[in-house]
A and B are shown apart, each in its own frame.
Chain A
Amino acid sequence: MLTRRLAILGACLALPLLTQAAPAQDKSIVVASTTSTQDSGLFGHILPLFKAKTGIEVRVVAQGTGQALDTARRGDADVAFVHAKAQEEKFVADGFGVKRFPVMYNDFVLIGPNSDPAGIKGTSDIVTALQTIKAKAAPFISRGDRSGTHAAELELWKAAGIHIPKEKGPWYKEIGQGMGAALNVASASNAYVLSDRGTWISFKNRGELDIAVAGDKRLFNQYGVMLVNPAKHPHVKKDFGQAFIDWLVSAEGQKAIADYKIDGQQLFFPNTNEPGA
């Protein structure tokens, strides 16, 4: 009888869970976004505002940019919100997205140990900093996970004239994980790492790390949002999804983004109306 009672108890507890309204009918959308955006805490700030206004619940699945776009390509999300312009434009060109809207930007910073083995702390030229790191074989952590940050990092190596896949050495470690994990590893091994400012500000496990290089225009990181194309995936909740996009680029949404601060610092700079963003 004990097992029977347990079964009934379990079924009662589970019933509300298992009989939730089928996802297609409830007022929600799935947004594929990136771990760095999620980790910055931005969503925790702006999504409740959106829900209060429209009643739509936004469910964010946070992955690396490459993974997020794959999820959107498969139709497992309604909206994609990432920061890799070239990949986003290809996403739309290939017919998976309807239209790309720029939303905001934040910047990357090069984080490094206080001991500064490459001697680059305080400089404002990211390209020479990277060249120096390679020349001195200073330890460097790469996310290596096809994320927007990873893509930006590779672009910067290219701008420095270094073809990193061929020219890396044991000083360059790819961990295949998100920003927080990369910062953890860098903190533990006193290495350099490229991070978005938002994740860095919220990161608590700093150890001996601090900002080494910042402010270079090449470190700016543009975010774009796209509705997954209902022509390719008919089940996409296009009305709710478009409502979210419309809100993000509206004056109200842009202000909500600007209002998000950690330790008094603004992390994201809304720029939906900036030409060429």
Chain B
Amino acid sequence: MPQDVSALQLVLSGDPALFAIVRLSVVVSLSATIGAAVIGLPFGALVALTRFPGRELVVVVMNALMGLPPVVVGLAVYLMLSRSGPLGSWGLLFTPQAMVIAQTILIAPIIAALARQTIEDLWVEYRDELAAMDVGPAGRVATLIWDARFSLLTALLAGFGRAAAEVGAVIIVGGNIDGFTRTMTTAIALETSKGDLPLAMGLGMVLIAIVVLVNAAAWGARRAGERLAQ
């Protein structure tokens, strides 16, 4: 990337290298959010709607895992995907796929825990009525997820925001390879350590803009949900 172009110029000019970095960040975090939703939503719904021994402990652990440190996840995935590790033959280390895997693991607990809370709260409200209408288990789950969709969307956006903002996991498993696994956060880390602060700040501006957009979307989702709920 050209080193002496001012950060704002780069952002506004739509510099292709910058755009490639932003695109990679969004695609990696979005893929991770989808993967985490596929794992976390059903799991959260299951815990919300069933009773089993040790359930309270599971809930506590789910909530605690929301605070998984990204670097720890990165390290664990690195050890798994390294050629000398158990999944080395997949050859995924230092690729965007590894980054998606690491971020999926990182945010799945967030989505699962928030989904569990949302669905459980709604289930307490709906339980009698759905029982009275003799709705079967599949129907109950579908109804709860549909009626809680805005809150669940907020949970997904929270997961995406966490993924897009983290650097510890993606830098370890991705290797911050120029033009291949360099995301906004890893590029900011790199440019800062090189002393190219204006460029790092330019990237930071884009990242903050994305985070603000995501939060605005979450707010919009909450408002839409409230309009229908009350």
Contacts and interface: CB of A to CB of B under 8 A. Distances in A.
Q: Which of B82, B91, B97, B195 has the most CB of A within 10 A?
A: B195
Contacts of A181: 193
Given A10-B34, A13-B27, A177 B153 contact: no
A6 B149 CA distance: 12
Given A17-B96, A59-B94, A75 B83 contact: yes
A23 B149 contact: no
Interface string A37-50: 01101011000000
A141 to B, nearest CB: 14
A168 interface: no
B95 interface: yes
Contacts of B180: 57, 59
Q: Which of B33, B84, B193 has the most CB of A within 10 A?
A: B193
Contacts of B89: 235
Contact of A202 (B3, B27, B93, B181): B3
Interface residues of B, number: 38
A18 B95 CA distance: 10
Interface string A17-49: 110101110000010000100110101100000
A184 B194 CA distance: 8
Contacts of A76: 82-84, 93-94
B56 interface: no
A75 B88 contact: yes
Contacts of B93: 76
A74 B100 contact: no
A203 interface: yes
A204 B97 contact: no
B96 A183 contact: no
B177 interface: yes
Contacts of B37: 7
A60 B100 contact: no
Interface string B61-104: 00000000000000000000011100011011111110010000
Contact of A178 (B92, B97, B177, B193): B193
B30 interface: yes
Nearest to A30: B94
A186 to B, nearest CB: 11
Contacts of B34: 7, 10-11, 14
Contacts of B96: 17, 20
Interface residues of A, number: 44
Contacts of B88: 75
A180 interface: yes
Given A14-B34, A180-B195, A74 B177 contact: no
Nearest to A38: B178
A184 B196 CA distance: 10
B118 interface: no
B42 interface: no
Interface string A51-81: 0000001011110000000000011100000
A202 B190 CA distance: 13
B183 interface: no
B82 A74 contact: yes
A13 B195 CA distance: 33
B30 A23 contact: no
B175 interface: yes
Contacts of B27: 13-14, 17
19 contacts: A2-B153, A13-B26, A13-B27, A14-B27, A14-B31, A17-B27, A17-B31, A20-B97, A39-B194, A57-B180, A60-B178, A74-B84, A76-B83, A178-B193, A180-B195, A181-B193, A183-B195, A204-B194, A205-B195
Closest 8 CB pairs of A and B: A205-B195, A75-B83, A61-B175, A180-B193, A14-B31, A74-B84, A180-B194, A204-B195
Interface of A: 2-3, 6-7, 10-11, 13-14, 17-18, 20, 22-24, 30, 35, 38-39, 41, 43-44, 57, 59-62, 74-76, 177-178, 180-181, 183-184, 187, 199, 202-206, 233, 235
